[in-house]
C-alpha cells in the first residue's frame, strides 16, 4: 500500500490588524454605546444615524450613516475612532 504524502507545513503567523482594518472587521462585535437618529426622520425622507461603540479600553468608535429613506437606502458612511 502506498504511503500518503504529507503536505508542506507552513507556520501560522497571525496578521496584525491596523486600526482601520480592526474597525472594518471587528466593530460589530463591540458593545453598543449609543445610537442617535435625526428628529422627524420619517417625514423628511432622509436621515443621519450615529452609532457609537465602546472598546474594552474605553475608546469609542462612531459610525455616521446618511440614509435616504425613499429610494436607495444608505448613501454615505463614515467612521471615527475617538480616544
Whether residue 14 is predicted with pLDDT greater than 90 in this model: the reply is: no
What is residue 52's predicted lDDT score, i.e. its pLDDT? 92
Q: Is-contact 66 50, C-beta < 8 A?
A: no
Q: What is the mean pLDDT of the chain?
A: 78
CA angle 35, 36, 37 (to 5 degrees): 130
Enter the pTM of the model.
Answer: 0.62
Domain containing residue 56: 19-82
Q: Is 12 contained in some domain?
A: no
Does residue 64 belong to any structural domain of this protein? yes
Chain segment 52-66, per-residue pLDDT in tens: 999 888 888 888 888
Is residue 1 domain-resident? no
Number of domains in the chain: 1
Q: Please choose, from the candidates 69, 67, 70, 60, the residue with its C-alpha nearest in 3D space to the C-alpha of residue 79.
A: 60
On whether residue 10 sits in a domain, the answer given is no
Other C-beta atoms closer than 10 Å to the C-beta of 49 total 16
Res. 69: pLDDT tops 90: no
The answer to the question of residue 6 being in a domain is no
Amino acid at each position: 500500500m502506498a504511503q500518503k504524502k504529507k503536505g508542506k507545513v507552513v507556520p501560522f503567523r497571525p496578521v496584525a490588524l491596523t486600526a482601520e482594518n480592526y474597525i472594518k472587521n471587528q466593530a460589530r462585535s463591540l458593545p453598543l454605546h449609543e445610537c442617535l437618529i435625526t428628529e422627524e426622520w420619517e417625514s423628511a425622507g432622509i436621515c443621519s444615524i450615529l452609532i457609537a461603540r465602546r472598546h474594552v479600553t474605553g475608546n469609542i468608535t462612531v459610525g455616521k450613516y446618511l440614509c435616504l429613506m425613499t429610494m436607495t437606502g444608505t448613501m454615505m458612511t463614515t467612521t471615527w475612532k475617538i480616544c
